[in-house]
């Protein structure tokens, strides 16, 4: 009897240790591994003139300034993620307002996110500006996305041959029309005095 109690205690201790290790493993934070951000040469913004209601798309090279109405927009950085990951497009932007006196006043400095345009957009009484995307990755298109986006090249001989036009689709059968109601079942107009 002395041996059974010890065996039971060992099994209990073994299960307790496994349960404790499982709890510790589950408590450890799981951090996803992200690829390095892709730096881009151009930031693309949408700008709304609230007076005219027109939206303009601004493609601004990094560290260059473009004027939109009384605003001067200068992107400093524009980063994206590889195509295989969740979209994450962000740009660090400085926006100045040019007053009627000619002086500039900084009205926005910070990060804009294309996936959350309302989060950090420039809201001005007359103009709104928000990030829509980044273009022209520095160093070209990353290798993994170049394979996905590259058009298939055809040999010169195949490209020179004319491709026959596809055959037109067969004529669709006209749907059957419902039979006209019998004369006895025709409904009278609801407002007969409006009928002429």
pLDDT digits (tens, 9 = 90+) for 73-97: 999 999 998 877 888 899 999 999 9
pLDDT value at 99 more than 70: yes
Query: Cα–Cα distance between 63 and 41 in angstroms, integer?
Result: 9
Structure tokens at 191: 């407002």
Beta-carbon contacts of 81 under 8 Å, excluding residues fewer than 6 positions away, are 34, 35, 37, 38, 87, 88, 89
CB of 135 closer than 8 Å to CB of 40:
yes
Q: What letter does residue 100 receive in the DSSP assignment?
A: T
User: Taking the CA of residue 21 as centre, how many other CA atoms within 13 Å lie in the half-sphere pointing to its CB?
Assistant: 6
Q: Evaluate if residue 11 carries a pLDDT over 80.
A: no
* CB-based contact 152:143 (threshold 8 Å): no
Query: Whole-angstrom Cα distance, residue 91 to residue 94?
Result: 10
pTM for this one? Answer: 0.54
pLDDT digits (tens, 9 = 90+) for 101-143: 989 999 999 999 988 877 777 888 899 999 999 998 887 665 4
- Please state the φ and ψ torsions of residue 107, each to the nearest 5 degrees: -110, -15
Cα 163 from chain centre: 36
φ and ψ at 142, to 5 degrees? -55, 150
* pLDDT score, position 9: 77
Output the average pLDDT for the chain: 74
């Amino acid at each position: 009897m002395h041996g059974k109690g010890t065996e039971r205690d060992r099994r209990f201790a073994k299960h307790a240790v496994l349960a404790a290790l499982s709890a510790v493993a589950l408590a450890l934070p799981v951090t996803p591994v992200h690829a390095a951000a892709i730096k881009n040469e151009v930031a693309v913004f949408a700008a709304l003139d609230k007076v005219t209601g027109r939206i303009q798309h601004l493609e601004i090279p990094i560290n260059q300034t473009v004027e939109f109405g009384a605003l001067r927009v200068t992107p400093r950085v524009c980063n994206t993620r590889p195509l295989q990951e969740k979209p994450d497009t962000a740009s660090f932007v400085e926006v100045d307002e040019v007053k009627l006196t000619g002086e500039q006043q900084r009205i926005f400095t910070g990060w804009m996110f294309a996936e959350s345009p309302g989060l950090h957009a420039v809201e001005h009484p007359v103009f709104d500006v928000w990030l829509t995307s980044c273009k022209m990755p520095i160093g070209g298109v990353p290798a993994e996305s170049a394979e996905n986006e590259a058009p298939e090249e055809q040999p010169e001989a195949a490209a020179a041959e004319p491709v026959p036009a596809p055959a037109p689709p067969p004529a669709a059968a006209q749907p059957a029309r419902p039979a006209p109601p019998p004369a006895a079942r025709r409904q009278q107009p609801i407002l007969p005095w409006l009928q002429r």
